[in-house]
Amino acid sequence: MLIALFADIHANRQAFEACLAQARADGAERIILLGDYVGYGADPEWVVTTVMELVNKGAVAVLGNHDSAIGTPREHMNQLAQIAIEWTRGELGARERRFLAGLPFQHHESDRLYVHSEASNPRAWTYVTGTMEAARSLTATTAHITFCGHIHHPALYSMSATAKMSAFTPTTGAAVPLLPGRRWLAVLGSVGQPRDNNPAACYGMLDTEKSELTYCRAAYDIEEAANRIRRKGLPIWLAERLFLGR
């Protein structure tokens, strides 16, 4: 089965539409959504409604910290994120709010774990920025492969049977064999706000039969996404950073 994995959509309709279309054209049979559907971007209602429709058709969705912040004001946010969340609260209806509030922190099936941040304490929203955090996440679960988002940078970590860690930045379009002798933590890049200096939307494609993961990029109409942010009166940097992949 080919599974498309999307993280950190951040209310970017143009990026999400492009990723969905490309993944489906490449044969995606199932969709997994790793959180942060709202925040930063101009189309939270459309994105959340689309995620709800996908879940109704069999997709899996987990909660992200920006999604949690919609109904939990105590969630800590930086200034730009807080401005966007406060605006987003006024854009979502009761139905969308209930959906976000009901999402799980993680989802475990087969030999895979899906979570927004990491597995040792999903509620703490810890960033996996190196092998130390990756090892803590891997040792907290028995899953062969853990998929997460949160940092907006694509990265791949693995742990050997002797707990030796390795890490590398995956190459776009190159299938990585997820060997059975190691355990894996795949950090998906961001659909809606990449921060790895590549403005193209990022997502993953998992081939469960071959046990291979491919990181993919999709070009999208950044100008339109940025213009919508400006028209909604959100901070200008939220528009400008899309062109830079930062």
**Model confidence over 185-220: pLDDT tens digits?**
999 999 999 999 999 999 999 999 999 999 999 999
Across the chain, what does the average pLDDT equal?
96
pLDDT for residue 13 is more than 80 = yes
CB 69 within 8 A of CB 116: no
CATH number of 2-244: 3.60.21.10
Helices and strands in the chain, H and E counts: 8, 12
Return d(Cα 25, Cα 8) in angstroms, integer.
Answer: 21
**Model confidence over 73-115: pLDDT tens digits?**
777 788 999 999 999 999 999 999 999 999 999 999 999 999 9
Rg (CA), the chain: 17
Q: Is 83 left (phi over 0), alpha (psi -120 to 50) or beta?
A: alpha
Tokens 């200008």 correspond to 236
Those residues whose C-beta lies under 8 Å from the C-beta of residue 139, and which sit 6 or more positions away, are 120, 159, 163
Q: Check: pTM over 0.85? Answer yes or no.
A: yes
Lowest-confidence segment of 27-36, 54-63, 72-81, 229-238 by average pLDDT:
72-81
- What is the residue type of 131? T
**Model confidence over 131-152: pLDDT tens digits?**
999 999 999 999 999 999 999 9
Tokens 């002798």 correspond to 181
What per-residue confidence (pLDDT) applies to 4? Answer: 98
What per-residue confidence (pLDDT) applies to 73? Answer: 75
